[in-house]
């Protein structure tokens, strides 16, 4: 049977101060009043039945997520502590396999905007078919690069697996600008962005995990073995913090792409794909006025100011500026951020300094 897993962990520090420990970015209702997680969940309508959609996220956000999605407890897979994507996916795959040994699972993220949705659903259907017809294959979705981005991983494409999919011959992690520019010039027939979305049989992924990360496999299968028993929480909470922290790309996808027992294939996803991982990315979701100013939540009045982003968690709060260009101005009751757009990548560093200076109260 087909299932969907939405990964909703992560701290979203580059969207601080609106994204914080109590309400990380995927739960902020700043996409036309809906959260990114709600958008990701609703996007699956018509593809995966609601009863087959699971969420993997931090246990501390369980109540918020269940309330926002009307999600039953058995479809929330809580992590007591974040241990990167390998363990989130291994944990989820092990539980889905216990529920259904024939499970084919699609993995989605909770921080992307994708349009048009009808085309997205059609492409994911192709991914399911590819994984079902090639059970030894891990399928990833590749996005056509639109710029020489250095913040994304790239898929180097090889031979055709089918009319819909190409073998991934190599993963290229976050290249420098010169290398990314070369990838862009070679075009989408050679290189695609790694979207972080996948489809595979749960048992195939677990076989990869057993081969490439046997200690993690053993521990995650022990957790899954206690699923729906009185010992589950104790077992999970005892084992999870000791798991090796590593991404699925490094731990499984890269070694599987060169292993004779497995294949990694990419189904192209030629859509509008926006990773809402920073304030400049969020700005792309907001309409611009005649001076290029973009407004998220709250109210704003700009005088002789151009190309700014303003947002407030309080819809009645007014942000004003005179003679300001290319700024990010974000207001919350606990903190206000003012930052040049070209320094947005430094927000993560600033977040660390805030924690050092004032502790978790402002994080």
Tens of pLDDT, residue by residue over 35-86, are: 999 999 999 999 999 999 999 999 999 999 999 999 999 999 999 999 999 9
Tens of pLDDT, residue by residue over 274-323, are: 889 899 999 999 999 999 999 998 999 999 999 999 999 998 999 999 99
Same domain, 84 and 230: yes
- Alpha-helix runs per DSSP H in 245-342: 248, 254-257, 279-283
Rounded to whole angstroms, the Cα distance separating 343 from 232 reads 44
End of a domain among 251, 275, 299?
275
Amino acid 12: pLDDT = 81
Amino acid 232: pLDDT = 97
Query: Residue 350 class from Cβ within 10 Å (0-12 exposed, 13-18 middle, 19+ buried)?
Result: middle
Torsion of CA 244, 250, 251, 255, to 10 degrees: -160
Same domain, 103 and 177: yes
Residue 70: left if φ>0, alpha if ψ -120 to 50, beta else—which one?
left
Contact 199, 139 (CB under 8 A): yes
Amino acid 274: pLDDT = 87
Amino acid 263: pLDDT = 95
Same domain, 292 and 348: yes
Same domain, 312 and 327: yes
Amino acid 277: pLDDT = 86
Vertex 278: Cα angle to 274 and 280 (nearest 5): 80
Same domain, 76 and 106: yes
Q: How many separate domains does the chain show?
A: 2
Rounded to whole angstroms, the Cα distance separating 201 from 222 reads 20
Contacts of 284 (CB under 8 A, 6+ apart): 274
End of a domain among 246, 275, 304?
275
Same domain, 304 and 250: no
Under-50 pLDDT residues of the chain: none
Same domain, 95 and 218: yes
Same domain, 88 and 212: yes
Contact 24, 79 (CB under 8 A): no
Same domain, 246 and 127: yes
Same domain, 10 and 117: yes
pTM across the whole model:
0.91
Amino acid 111: pLDDT = 87
Which domain does 307 fall in, by range?
279-362
Same domain, 271 and 284: no
Same domain, 55 and 106: yes
End of a domain among 213, 247, 275?
275
The CATH number given to whatever domain includes residue 91 is 3.90.550.10
End-to-end CA gap in the chain:
41
Say which DSSP state 73 is in: G
């Amino acid at each position: 049977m087909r299932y969907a897993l939405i990964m909703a962990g992560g701290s979203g520090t580059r969207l601080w101060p609106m994204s914080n420990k109590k309400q990380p970015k995927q739960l902020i209702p700043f996409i036309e009043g809906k959260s990114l997680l709600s958008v990701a969940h609703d996007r699956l309508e018509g593809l995966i039945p609601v009863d087959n959609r699971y969420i993997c996220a931090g246990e501390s956000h369980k109540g918020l997520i269940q309330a926002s999605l009307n999600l039953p407890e058995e479809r929330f897979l809580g992590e007591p502590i974040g241990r990167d994507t390998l363990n989130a996916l291994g944990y989820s795959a092990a539980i889905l396999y216990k529920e259904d040994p024939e499970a084919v699972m699609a993995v989605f993220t909770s921080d992307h905007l994708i349009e048009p949705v009808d085309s997205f659903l059609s492409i994911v259907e192709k991914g399911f078919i590819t994984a079902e017809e090639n059970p030894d294959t891990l399928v990833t979705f590749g996005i056509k690069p639109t710029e020489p981005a250095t913040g994304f991983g790239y898929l180097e494409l090889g031979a055709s697996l089918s009319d819909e999919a190409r073998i991934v011959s190599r993963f290229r992690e976050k290249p420098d600008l010169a290398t990314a520019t070369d990838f862009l010039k070679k075009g989408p027939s050679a290189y695609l962005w790694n979207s972080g979305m996948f489809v595979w049989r749960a048992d195939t992924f677990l076989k990869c995990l057993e081969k490439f990360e046997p200690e993690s496999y053993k521990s995650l299968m022990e957790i899954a073995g206690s699923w729906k028993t009185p010992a589950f929480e104790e077992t999970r909470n005892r084992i999870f913090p000791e798991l090796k922290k590593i991404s699925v790309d490094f731990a499984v996808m890269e070694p599987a792409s060169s292993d004779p027992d497995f294949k990694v294939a990419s189904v192209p996803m030629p859509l509008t794909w926006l990773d809402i991982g920073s304030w400049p990315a969020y700005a792309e979701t907001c309409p611009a006025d005649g001076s290029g100013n973009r407004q998220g939540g709250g109210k704003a009045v700009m005088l002789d100011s151009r190309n700014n982003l303003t947002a407030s968690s309080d819809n009645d709060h007014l942000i004003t500026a005179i003679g300001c260009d290319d700024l990010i101005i974000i207001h919350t009751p606990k903190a206000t951020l003012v930052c040049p757009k070209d320094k947005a990548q430094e927000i993560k560093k600033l977040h660390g300094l805030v924690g050092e200076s004032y502790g978790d109260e402002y994080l």
